[in-house]
Amino acid sequence: MKIGVLCVQGAFLEHEKALHKLGVECEEIRQEKDFKNVDGIILPGGESTVQGKLLCELNLFNNIKTEICHGLPTLATCAGLILLAEKIENDNATYLKTLPVTVRRNAYGRQLGSFEANGDVDEIKDFPMVFIRAPYITKLNEGVEILSSINDHIVGVKYQNQIGLSFHPELTNDMRIHEKFLSMV
Ligand code: GLN
C-alpha cells in the first residue's frame, strides 16, 4: 500500500510521520509525475488559497479531482477540507468540489489562532483535536455522513471515499484517525 501526501504547502510532514509510524509507505506529491500508483491521498492543512493555486500551476488539479471522483480514498484536514468542499460560504473561490458540503473558512475567527478539544469521531471516542484557524461545515448535501461535531459545529464528515476534518489528527500522537483512513484503502 502506498499513500500519496500532497506536499505543495502546509503540514504535510506530520502526515508522513504518522504514516511511517503505521508502517505505511508514502509518496510525496509535488508534481504531476509523482501522482501515480497511489492507493490513497492525504490533503494536509495549510493555506487553501495557496494550495489551490499551486494545484493548478503544477498541473495536479484535474488529475487529483478525477481520481477522487473515481473513488481514490482521501483524507483531508483543515485546508484540505476547504479544497474538497463544493462551496465556501465566505469566499467566492472553490477548488476540487468533490465533497458536497459548504464550509466556512476561519470559522472560529482569525484572532483565535488555535484551540484544542476532545471529542468523538464516529466510532473513535475521545479523540484529541487540534484546531488551527479552522473551518467548520455549515451545510451537508445528500449522502454526507457526520463523523464529528464540537459545540454544535460539524468538524468531521465522510462522503463515500472522502473524509474531511476541520482539525489536525497528524499533530497528535493518536493514530486512530489515520488507521481509520487506511482501513478504507
Ligand atoms: N485558515 C486556513 C485556510 O483557510 C486553514 C488553516 C489550516 O489548515 N490549519 O486555508
- CA 40 / ligand 1 centre spacing (Å): 22
Instruction: Enumerate the β-bridge partners of residue 145.
Output: 158
| Mutation choice for ligand 1 from 105, 108, 110, 167, CB with most ligand atoms inside 8 A | 105
**With bands split at pLDDT 50, 70 and 90, how would you rate the model's confidence at 109?**
confident
Q: Specify whether the CB–CB gap between 63 and 32 falls below 8 A.
A: yes
- CA 67 / ligand 1 centre spacing (Å): 23
- pLDDT score recorded for residue 112: 66
37-41, 51-55, 107-111, 115-119, range with the lowest pLDDT = 107-111
Nearest-atom index, ligand 1, CA of 49: 10
| pLDDT tops 90 at residue 113 | no
State how beta strands 40-43 and 74-77 pair: parallel
- pLDDT score recorded for residue 64: 98
Domain architecture of the chain: domains with CATH: 2-184 (3.40.50.880)
Contacts of 52 (CB under 8 A, 6+ apart): 83, 93, 95
Helices 176-183 and 12-21: angle between axes, nearest 10 degrees: 80
Is the shortest distance between the CB of 47 and ligand 1 below 6 Å? Answer: yes
Q: Which helix H or strand E contains 65, and what residues bound it?
A: helix 61-69
Tell me the longest C-alpha to C-alpha distance in the chain: 42
Is the pTM higher than 0.85? The answer reads yes
pLDDT tens digit string along 20-73? 999 999 999 999 999 999 999 999 999 999 999 999 999 999 999 999 999 999
What is the rounded distance in angstroms from the CA atom of residue 57 to the CA atom of residue 47? Answer: 16
| DSSP code per residue over 68-135 | HHTT--EEEETHHHHHHEEEETT-S------EEEEEETTTT-SS--EEEEEEEETTEEEEEEEEES--
Indicate the average pLDDT of the chain: 97
